[in-house]
Chain A
Amino acid sequence: MRCTRTTLAVLLLSIACVHAQGTAASTSDVRTIEAFKQRINQYALLHRRLEAGIPKLADDADPPAIEQHQRRLGQLMMSNRKGAKRGDVFTPDAERLFRRLLAQVFSGPEGARLKATIMDENPSVMRLAVNARYPEQVPFSTMPPQVLAMLPRLPEEIEYRFIGNQLILLDIHAHTIVDYLDNALPK
């Protein structure tokens, strides 16, 4: 009983926070997020279908098998998304919303610190391409939990990363860039 009351109190507090911070979603935001999720889920479905068609990679594989699997999947994804281009997932509506969400996070009192965390060991400028392999020598940016909590959740095959100030969608099995958003970090 006590647990239920506590949970309820926390929930109410959270709802209050949502309204107090002005982060409650408008109908058009909800539509934009839903459409974004639909596009990324379609990508994930294609990924799963193609991955199911190649030999399964064991959870305790050796490095040649890992590399072979990764490259084979990357090639399959590329050939099935030949016409893919920047903005297919981050459509103009989604771009605007993501920039707004990120601006909210980074304009807060912790914004400078969060930005510094992301930019740590992060190259400032890099030319990216959809379907290209993640650049081999570039470390992964740290994604602070406070930033991830503001963004729509992704299917397990995909994660958010920053390369410079570009937010990318990374296919972690194929090691390729699904789409990216330029100038995602506010100046």
Chain B
Amino acid sequence: MRIRRDLISVLTLAAAIAACATQPTRGPVQVSASPNQAPAPPAAAETPMPNRPDSLKFAILGDFGTGSRAQYETAAEMARVHQRFPFELVITVGDNLYGSQRAPDFVRKFETPYKPLLDAGVKFYASLGNHDAREQVRYNLFNMDGKLYYSFKPSKQSARFYALETTSLDPDQVAWLQKELEAGREDWKMPYFHHPPYSSGERHGSQGAIREVVEPLFLKYNVSVVFSGHDHFYERIKPQQGIVYFVTGGGGQLRTGNIDRGTGLTAKGFDTDRSFMIAEINGDEMYFNAIARTGAVVDSGMITRRK
């Protein structure tokens, strides 16, 4: 009988999630940015970050822990940006360490390149990708508190981040996500995780199996932006049912020319160098910049949250 109960509970959850999808969604997100779909040169008319004193400033980094020169140079650019735009935290969208993950690897692939940021008190809040050993959840500098998935509220603005573990999105995690999103009273609910629900990557592309499960919850609980990685480039997806999805998987790895321009998903893409993102939330607005290793701003814009 227990197997039958298990099946019933799983199907109950699936049906509940499907039911969520049929509920009317709230207003679409407003994105103000260049609609250019061509490979992005440095943006001609970039949207500057307001850099207000009381705003929430953060960075987004993915697929970075290679220990390569390119990772170090990208990390150095992050540190330079931090001097003029003092983000208080970094969320990582997984693949924090590639290959061996013994103690010296944490130093070479994370602590050394990001030392200027760590020394400046910037906190990293990690999510795990398919290259990450599960025990990273215990690593003090990833601030995961021993949990594969968790949420946290930053000190400024009405915002909450939800770190998911999408390499093993089991029914318990989905139930947790639903409960957390439902309980969240913040204006900005921002899930971040490794596998992109939407992506134009020729190597991986949109992860439909993940999307089917999480998107109905994002719609129901008024999520406006989602961050992921896995594909090794930067891409801003055209709003999907009112939600803006970012792929930011070029923090150390890069798949040059991997964005398939034929998907029709790309609002802006950059796949010719490493990159990371910075973002700033103030009230109902979120400003963002995608920045290349060279310091060039390759995408920028402003998102007004769904209400």
Contact = CB atoms under 8 A, between A and B. Distances in A.
Interface of A: 6, 10-11, 13-15, 17-18, 23-25, 29-30, 33-34, 57-64, 66-67, 69-70, 110, 113-114, 117, 120-121, 136-137, 139-146, 148-150, 152-153, 159-161, 170, 172-173, 175
Contacts of A6: 19
B6 A152 contact: yes
Contacts of B14: 14, 149
A148 B106 contact: no
Contacts of A150: 10
A60 B210 CA distance: 29
B64 to A, nearest CB: 15
Contact of A24 (B4, B10, B104, B213): B4
A146 B8 CA distance: 14
B167 interface: yes
Given A67-B103, A143-B169, A60 B140 contact: yes
A78 B63 CA distance: 33
A33 B12 contact: no
B289 interface: no
Contact of B170 (A17, A113, A145): A145
A145 B2 contact: no
A60 B204 contact: no
A160 B168 CA distance: 8
B288 to A, nearest CB: 27
A100 B297 CA distance: 52
Among B1, B3, B99, B103: residue with most chain A CB under 10 A? B3
B135 interface: yes
A66 B3 contact: no
Size class of B's contact patch?
35 or more
Contact of A64 (B103, B204, B208): B103
A140 B131 contact: yes
Contacts of B13: 149
Contacts of B134: 159, 170, 172-173, 175
Contacts of B168: 140, 142-143, 148, 159-161
A145 B130 contact: no
5 nearest A-B pairs in the assembled complex, by CB-CB distance? A59-B146, A14-B11, A60-B140, A144-B209, A63-B106
24 contacts: A10-B16, A14-B14, A14-B15, A24-B4, A25-B4, A30-B2, A59-B138, A59-B146, A61-B138, A61-B139, A63-B139, A66-B103, A66-B135, A66-B139, A69-B135, A117-B207, A117-B209, A143-B168, A143-B169, A144-B169, A145-B213, A146-B212, A148-B170, A149-B14
A41 B153 CA distance: 35
B138 A58 contact: yes
B157 interface: no
A64 B280 CA distance: 35
Contact of B3 (A63, A141, A152): A152
A141 B209 contact: no
A113 B206 CA distance: 11
A30 B209 contact: no
